[in-house]
Structure 1
Amino acid sequence: MEALEKKAKEVLVNNFKEGFSIPCAKLYPFQWFWDSGLIAIGFAHFDMEKAEQEIETLLDAQWGNGFIPHIIFHTETDTYFPGADFHQSNLHPEASKKYRSTGMTQPPVTGFVLEEMYRISKDKPATLKYIETVIDKVYSNHNYFFTKRDPQNEGLVYIYHNWESGTDNSPIWDDIWATMNPPEYTFERRDTTHVDASERPSKREYDHYLHIIEIAKEHNYSDEKIAELSPFLVQDPLFNAMLIKSNQSLIALYKLIGNNDDKVEQLQKWQDKSVKSFNNKLFDEELGAYIHYDLRNEKPLRYLSSSSFAPLYANIPSKERAASMVNIMMDKFGGDQQYLCASFDPTSERFNPKKYWRGPVWVNLNWMLFNGLNQYGYNNIAERVKQDTIDIIANNGFYEYFDSRKQAHKDGNAGYGGNDFSWSAALYIDLLKR
């Protein structure tokens, strides 16, 4: 364990550039929104200064309207497609003048990350002082979501691109691709030169991805126009659960700081509305868990994925619903031959245990599940999630994602995507300390 923890710290230090971390060398050479947050949790255990810099650099790229982009292009490199020239973030009138970025966002983890940093801190007064310098920017990000991304004013925000979900090529999106027929784009992929193409999204999937961005660019990344015209408009349980969890954290932190009654009151209003709508709209009684909702075509997307269980981490379900979710998870995802928790339903014909978000295990979702299960008192299952995560890392190394089938791990070649992956290392460190 000690050798592995030392290695995890080395991964983090090696991937830290000038004030920010890259997820891993070559494959992801820039700063990613939710990666940065989760990486800061790992750094908080042994280098709080780097954890603070990570968040500061991320928030430094915030747009005038509170939006935080999913990729910030700090350097010029042609090892990644689509890069800054393709995204043209400057089309939006309030985009950052200092940094080039995408015009998409990612799950808003920053609120709960600040609270995690405070929990981990050995000098809580100093950490709270730091949090005081950045928390209003995070509040502004939440304000952006609730005022710009909730067209029906129901407390649930939309994502307009699968990359915003964080679960890039989930089989859930197949239903949406079936409603679209984008042009065939000519472009040179970079990811498949670094890792096996069989582990990555297909060329045709990329056509869909680029087409959605082209529509957003055509309208200068206007939220109103995107809500009106984007063929992809989804209320995602993982994304909204992260927002709700971060809301909770901002409320707790503002109360610690004091003199922020107006913000606490506003956050609480958003929170009450969000949790109510989340439970009313996104819980599927028949499936016994939460699902995605296709806002463009006004229909539920009735699939089980690791995102279906993420609301446990945000304290969203009642005790009864949590029990149903845990039963479903153990029944479908938790068999003797499976590591917890596959990113997509292993009993589905769309399941692929090697392909990105179509079935592999991801450390970040397992970390959320571990915390969520403990919050609801499912300590034994939480312990299994933790042990499964530690075992697959010990067996394969700090990969981006891992095969969910136990038999695939016999030769230690069941880690896929990028190696020496930052959030796998960061959250491994945090799991060890819990």
Structure 2
Amino acid sequence: MKDTLYKKAVEVLENNWKEGFSIPCAKLYPFQWFWDSGLIAIGFAHFDMKKAEQEIETLLDAQWGNGFIPHIIFHTESDTYFPGPDFHRSDLHPQSSKKYRSTGMTQPPVTGFVLEEIYKISKDKPATLKFIEGVIDKVYFNHEYFYDNRDPQNEGLVYIYHNWESGTDNSPIWDDIWKTMNPPEYTFERRDTTHVDAAERPSKREYDHYLYIIDIAKEHNYSDEKIAELSPFLVQDPLFNAMLIKSSKSLIKLYERIGGNEEKIAQLTQWQQKAIATFNEKLYDDSLGAYVHYDLRNEKPIKFLSSSSFAPIYAGIPSKERADKMVEVMLQKFGGDHQYLCASFDPDSERFNPKKYWRGPVWVNLNWMLHNGLKAYGYSDVALRVKQDTIALMENNGFYEYFDSRKDMHKDGNAGYGGHNFSWSAALLIDLLEKEE
């Protein structure tokens, strides 16, 4: 069964490969996405290193003149996705890419640790290190962009200005922020709900909020300063910042391997020290026993548990004592016998919805991070459970975008939701199967 699953995963990646990059899945997501691309490259590295490298090169080729990397790069015209390039208008920013149209938002910066993963997987390490040497400065430049432009209080934590930047698009974490806003009613034609059940997607009113935030950014030509001053959505996200910290750790290791680059290593180390200290001080919630989001616009923590609350384990941020508490909380709240680990939102909350995008389903990418983080901290039994749960979800349902966290929903193999033949689900399954415990 494992061999068959592996072959199917390879097939999914090959089918979603375009000229030099991958799409997450046909129709629903017909372009290149920032964090998807990185995670997809990890899967390719196991059987086609050339494609893994091209994936990264194409992504970095769309970098703006200020180091920013957009969350969607519109390589082709497509009428199956809204909002497209004509709505986003990346050209409004003076330093946006002249070669590619894109959004003016970003996504969790995974590229640094992806390069390290690719190096670990490589069977020809000198050749892979040579490739990394050719692209690593662009990733460093991206980190520099964040710390120079997205940290207005100079505390080592960067903000996101749109829920799409978090990667956890319609999480219940944002509900209270929406209550502080009253955007206009937009008239537009949704494309996503023609491909998947509307019950699995954000509502029309949620989309009004999403578009309104983009309009405010566009009005100011995507100026980071103006966004920090005026955006109604301004959040320090534990998942986003953990990915940046994890990626910086990887860049330090890779620069040391390459040799030279002392100044960059010193700068990365400085960012790391400040980031980890503030992260632990500001984002850890003692009463919940995990990390939470911080609403920078309204200067208050957003006290909800989600899979993002545990992501800092992957970046090595919590002390062992804190990690013990986090694992206890995760197992108690998210890990009952009737549940697959790890739901994307607190199953005890009234806002939990195990069918709806980031409001409760299990996502393979977060599970992959949790698995690796738990293993690094020495929680091998829990890490193994996360891995086995993740594989079981795909064995039962196929390579969906996300999965119901309730075990009893999987009896007939109909509990995979969102996009089907989803690239990062397939890619990270390959990585999980390759790395035998």
Which TM-score band (shorter chain)? over 0.9
The aligned runs of 1:188-337 (5 Å cut-off) are 188-337=189-338
Q: Which runs of 5+ in 2 are unaligned?
A: none
Residue 168 of structure 1 aligns to a residue whose secondary structure is coil
Alignment of 1:2-401 (within 5 A): 2-401=3-402
User: What is the letter of the counterpart of residue 86 of structure 2?
Assistant: D
Counterparts of 1:315 and 1:390, CA distance in 2: 24
User: What's the CA shift string for 1:172-215, capped at 9, x where partnerless?
Assistant: 00010010000000000000000000000000000000000000
Q: Counterpart amino acid of 2:271?
A: W
Write the letter of the residue equivalent to 2:36: D
- SS class of match (1:114): helix
The CA distance in 1 between the partners of 2:143 and 2:40, in whole Å, is: 21
- Aligned residue type for 1:246: S
The alignment partner of 1:22 has SS state of: coil
> How far 1:241 moved relative to its partner?
0.1
Match of 1:188, SS state, is coil
Q: Deviations over 1:44-100 (max 9, x none)?
A: 000000000000000000000000000000000111000000000000000000000
What amino acid is the match of 2:162? Answer: H
SS in 2 for 1:116: helix
1:411 correspondence with 2:432: no
Separation of aligned partners in 1, 2:351 and 2:328: 22
**Percentage identity across aligned positions?**
82
**1:383 alignment partner AA:** L
CA distance in 2, matches of 1:249, 1:151: 25
In the TM superposition, what whole-angstrom CA distance separates every residue of 1:338-365 from its partner, at most 9, and x where no partner exists?
A: 0000000000000000000000000000
Matched residues in 1 for 2:335 and 2:314: separation?
18
Task: For 1:380, give the aligned amino acid.
Answer: D
* 1:34 CA displacement: 0.1
Return the alpha-carbon distance in structure 2 between the equivalents of residues 177 and 6 of structure 1.
43
Counterpart of 1:97 in 2: which secondary structure?
Answer: coil
After the TM superposition, which parts of structure 1 deviate over 6 Å for at least 4 consecutive aligned residues? none
Task: State the alpha-carbon separation in 2 of the partners of residues 298 and 428 from structure 1.
Answer: 39
| TM-score calculated relative to the size of structure 1 | 1.00
Deviation at 1:10, TM superposition (A): 0.4
SS of residue matched to 1:17:
coil
Report the CA distance between 1:17 and its aligned residue.
0.1
Give 1:326 shift. 0.2
Query: For residues 324 and 295 of structure 1, what CA distance do their matches in structure 2 show?
Result: 26
Q: How far, CA to CA, are the matches of 2:376 and 2:225 in structure 1? A: 38
SS in 1 for 2:247: helix
Aligned-residue Cα RMSD (Å) equals 0.3
Secondary structure at the residue paired with 1:300?
strand
Aligned AA (1:326): V
CA distance in 1, matches of 2:421, 2:375: 28
CA distance in structure 2 between the partners assigned to 1:324 and 1:307 by the alignment: 15
Distance 1:296 1:384 in 2: 38
Q: Distance in 2 between matches of 1:5 and 1:77?
A: 30
State the distance in 2 between where 1:8 and 1:95 align.
Answer: 35
Structure 2 residue identity aligned to 1:348: S
TM-superposed deviation, 1:281: 0.1
For 1:357, the aligned partner's letter is: W
Amino acid at match of 1:354: K
Deviations 1:244-273 (A, max 9, x none): 000000000000000110000000000000
Report the counterpart of residue 428 of structure 2 in structure 1.
Answer: 427
**Aligned equivalents of 1:308 and 1:376: distance in 2?**
16
Distance 2:254 2:129 in 1: 8
TM-score (norm 2): 0.99
By how many angstroms is 1:433 displaced?
Answer: 1.2
Q: CA deviation at 1:107?
A: 0.1
- The CA distance in 2 between the partners of 1:381 and 1:319, in whole Å, is 15
> Per-residue CA shift, 1:4-43, capped at 9, x if unaligned?
1000000001100000000000000000000000000000
Q: Which runs of 5+ in 1 are unaligned?
A: none
Q: Take 1:213 and 1:308, find their aligned partners in 2: how far apart are those partners?
A: 26
Secondary structure of the 1:163 match is helix
- The offset of 1:311, in angstroms, is 0.2
* 1:72 alignment partner AA: I
Aligned residue for 1:145, secondary structure, equals: helix
CA distance in 2, matches of 1:392, 1:81: 29
